[in-house]
Amino acid sequence: MRICRFSFFRTAAFIAAFSILGLLTTQIAVAQRLPTTVVPTHYTLMLIPDLKAATFSGVEKIDVNIKEPVHSITLNAAEIAFQSVTVYSNGPEEAGTVILDKEKEQATFAFSHALAAGSAVLSIHYTGILNNELRGFYLSKTSRRNYAVTQFEPTDARRAFPCFDEPAFKAAFDISLVVDAGDTAISNGSIVSDMPGPGAGKHTLVFSTTPKMSTYLIAFLVGDFACTAGQQDGVNIRVCSTPDKVALTSYGRNIAEFVLHYYNNYFGIPYPLKKLDLIALPDFEAGAMENFGAITYREIDLLIDPKTAGLQAKEDVAIVIAHEMAHQWFGDLVTMQWWNNVWLNEGFATWMEYKPVIAMHPEWDLPLSVAGDEQRTLDLDAQPTTRAIRAKADTPDEINQMFDDIAYGKAGDVLLMVENYLGTETFRKGVHAYLAAHLYGNATAEDFWNAQAAVSHKPVDKIMDSLIAQPGAPILTFGDLADGRVPVQQTRFFLDSHSKPDRVQKWMLPVCFKSGSTGQDCELLTPTTTHLQIPEAQFFYANAEGKGYYRSAYTPAEYANLVARIETGLTPGERISLTGNEWAQVRADRADVGDYLDLVTALKDDPNAEVISEALTNVTTIYERLAVTPEEQRQFSAWIDRTFTPILHKLGPVSASDTDNTRMLRAELLALVGSYGNSAIVIDMARQIANRYLTDPASIDPTLGQAALTVTTQNGDTAWFDRIQKAYEASDDPEFKNLALRLLAQFRAPDLVARSLVYAMSDKVRNQDAGYQFAIPLASQETRDAAWDDIKTNWDKVQAQLTIETNGELVSYTGYFCSAPAREDVKKFFAAHPLSAADASLRHALESIDGCIEFRALQEPNFKKWLAAQQGFS
């Protein structure tokens, strides 16, 4: 599953440097695991949805293997009404009594006689509801009609059919659906028969038997879907949508065809099904979901017009497609044993998603995006409330909170570091060995790293256990170089200055030193290591290519040497790593914010958009967190204007010869100077570009047009709000519609902030989107207080628009407050108005507020001193 991370134009001006995504911390909970005395082997499932009445009925047979005599069988069921339950087991068919445990979401079928060990068949007739909660079997709506669709990960298959809803209970499925004559259906298998009836105006679609698979990967979708079709390596590939958007499916199909061939070669194991469908759904909570052979997506994550799409949208769609397709092997073909190892699914897919896209589009410089993402993950992992990659998860709420940036980002970064240490081909062979040993089965973390250790003959098991089992990441403090060696100390790194690391906590991990322009020499750091061998090099840099999952501290002389060579001696990825490392030192009060801004000044002419983006992300955080008075804001804006506006002008107007990097760099700088530099010239330029883009999106570079829209909106009036709202309501293009909706939440005028929130509470905004509309204005100091007051005042309407995922997002964004009274207010409000699956997000938000309070207290005097020194250059 790909987490939905809402985005407007992705520039440094709008990427939060204070990462406040919810994290899971261990809590006491009632265990909800099923007994293992009865194991399913095969399901036969017929579903009959009624899209008008929003209900469905089901007829189900489950073949089970009973390991020892039992008087009852317990499985999962939620929001299911049972009509009858019988069992056949070496004798007459016997009716069962249904005992429901709503808290555990379980149903127990009790029988008067003991069921003998061996095979048995459960027969179940039941009904259910097509809910509006974007989980289970639910309704997805357009202005024309309803669709019946599914989202089962992690624990919601039980809302569609009674089942053994745990990943280790794999079984084969035979699925059929009875649907209206004018509709079709999509499921994991191919359609093998289509027969009229039963009843007038109906037909029955029967699908091919699936491989052994987990319940959370089942999908069935009903409606008038339209598709474009292709083929790759003998596999039929379709990209499907509602009929009005089928013209937007070709881009995704081309990506999918390339990715399938790439993965077949990489894994050395062919895609195991005869078909692969990618389906865009109007209402979908996650970004995408890797259902085996029937991947579902938010429309924005699959459907774009490449002629008018921005560069970021093209990249995002390609990466999300690659992420979900990687799951077809890592997650679907081989599945984690239990949710505490969900990182095996999500971390691997996060690490893998870039490989085929880099091969297809090397001009996008995606390795630099990976380097930037790692910096944000390291910052997140430096919070006291972070968790280990592998953590306790027993209840549905706990499991839902496992899908965070630790499971995705940190796990992916750790895999990247280990791959860099072993070598790409050795690591690939280890991946193949792991998959081949567990085809159609379940596996643990130990299975994965033991396979890597066996192939590489290196202590991958000890390295991975060190990184997976404990929270946080180390900072490596290097001493003076002597005789080809460098002294090193490791301790856990925290972003705040008051958290004290446990001296016992140590890591085993590879440290790769730069040797030559692109070379590296890697040494293994153990808990007892005091010195490391270093290669001969012109200067000392201890994170070659920026792929190490750790922070570094250098002697003043070595750090000065690095800064002096940052543009000539370091690769772009290493520049991103060094910049992120210095920012972390500032946050932890190990460095002065003025030193960071001097480093940014040294980077200002860097030609790489991602390098500039990483540097400027933290510049905007400084504006939001440290420029607290109007005069400080004016002075800092003036510095941004005079430092970066000349570089923007140097790039010149849009040209047909522009590279993708140049297009993105121009947009980054326009957004920064227009939003934070307060340059009247640039704001006027943005307004002209935005008007042109709104009138005819094909008339200008969409990447620049979208940046201009953001700047113009932040300075917009009521007439501009009306125009953006009208554009949102009129557009059928998912990318543009999403952009326009997010823009409505970025107006700065108080009356328009209130208007945008009222609009988000209305039926004009889908509940998959509304939570983000409430969250966006909480990120800006200009709109935060007014937005929070409105949210609290209208809480019943706000809560009605939230989903399980957006509960956590909204709570997380209260972490942008930066005062003790605000912290207390947030804490009290959510104590009185708790949201499901958001308790960890609240803990982390409160911690983020504490961190901002400390950051401001420690660094604001340094910031004022730096500002004063700049006045001579104005």
- 31-46 per-position pLDDT tens digit: 589 999 999 999 999 9
Q: What phi, psi does 808 have (nearest 5°)?
A: -65, -35
| pLDDT confidence of residue 128 | 98
Mean pLDDT, rounded, for 796-819 = 95
CB 794 within 8 A of CB 757: yes
Res 745 pLDDT > 50: yes
- 320-365 per-position pLDDT tens digit: 999 999 999 999 999 999 999 999 999 999 999 999 999 999 999 9
**For the residues of 227-252, what is the DSSP string, one character each?**
EEEEEETTEEEEEEE-GGGGGG-HHH
Residue in the structure block whose two tokens are 């555990």: 104
Res 7 pLDDT > 90: no
**pLDDT bucket at 3, cuts 50 / 70 / 90:** low
**For the residues of 604-620, what is the DSSP string, one character each?**
TT-S-HHHHHHHHHHHH
CB 349 within 8 A of CB 330: yes
* Cβ-based burial of 515 (10 A; exposed 0-12, middle 13-18, buried ≥19): middle
Q: What percent of the chain has pLDDT over 70?
A: 96
**Number of neighbours of residue 85 by Cβ within 10 angstroms:** 22
Stretch (H or E) spanning 703 = helix 702-714
Q: How far apart are CA 523 and CA 105, in angstroms?
A: 50
Res 608 pLDDT > 90: yes
| pLDDT confidence of residue 1 | 80
Q: Which of 169, 303, 327 has the alpha carbon at shortest distance from 240?
A: 303
Structure tokens at 119: 């095979």
Rg (CA), the chain: 27
- 174-233 per-position pLDDT tens digit: 999 999 999 999 999 999 999 999 999 999 999 999 999 999 999 999 999 999 999 999
Least confident interval from 19-23, 163-167, 172-176, 592-596? 19-23
**For the residues of 625-669, what is the DSSP string, one character each?**
HH--SHHHHHHHHHHHHHHHHHHHHHH-S--TT--HHHHHHHHHH
* Cβ-based burial of 828 (10 A; exposed 0-12, middle 13-18, buried ≥19): exposed
CB 670 within 8 A of CB 685: yes
| pLDDT confidence of residue 31 | 57
Res 18 pLDDT > 80: no
Distances in whole angstroms, Cα of residue 339 to Cα of each of 314, 397, 544, 813, 839: 32, 12, 34, 26, 19
Mean pLDDT, rounded, for 70-87 = 98
Cis amide linkage into residue 198, ω under 30° from 0: yes
Structure tokens at 117: 């060990």
Res 544 pLDDT > 80: yes
Q: How far apart are CA 289 and CA 151, in angstroms?
A: 8
- 440-483 per-position pLDDT tens digit: 999 999 999 999 999 999 999 999 999 999 999 999 999 999 99
| pLDDT confidence of residue 516 | 78
Structure tokens at 679: 């340059």
Structure tokens at 267: 């894994």
| pLDDT confidence of residue 32 | 83
Residue in the structure block whose two tokens are 């924005």: 300
Res 4 pLDDT > 70: no
Q: Which of 124, 116, 105, 126 has the alpha carbon at shortest distance from 44?
A: 124
Half-sphere exposure of 382 (CA within 13 A, CB side): 30
CB 355 within 8 A of CB 295: no
Mean pLDDT, rounded, for 744-752 = 97
Q: How far apart are CA 139 and CA 124, in angstroms?
A: 24
Q: How far apart are CA 396 and CA 825, in angstroms?
A: 28
Residues designated as active site: 324
Amino acid at 687: R
632: left (phi over 0), alpha (psi -120 to 50) or beta: alpha
Contacts of 467 (CB under 8 A, 6+ apart): 389, 414, 507, 509, 549
**Number of neighbours of residue 834 by Cβ within 10 angstroms:** 12
CB 23 within 8 A of CB 385: yes
* Cβ-based burial of 329 (10 A; exposed 0-12, middle 13-18, buried ≥19): buried
Q: Give the ranges where 504-571 is alpha helix by DSSP (H).
A: 556-564
CB 114 within 8 A of CB 96: no
| pLDDT confidence of residue 16 | 37
Residue in the structure block whose two tokens are 């930066």: 818
Half-sphere exposure of 518 (CA within 13 A, CB side): 1
Q: How far apart are CA 787 and CA 17, in angstroms?
A: 21
- 365-397 per-position pLDDT tens digit: 999 999 999 999 999 999 998 999 999 999 998
Look over the chain and give the mean of its residue pLDDT values, rounded to a whole number.
Answer: 94
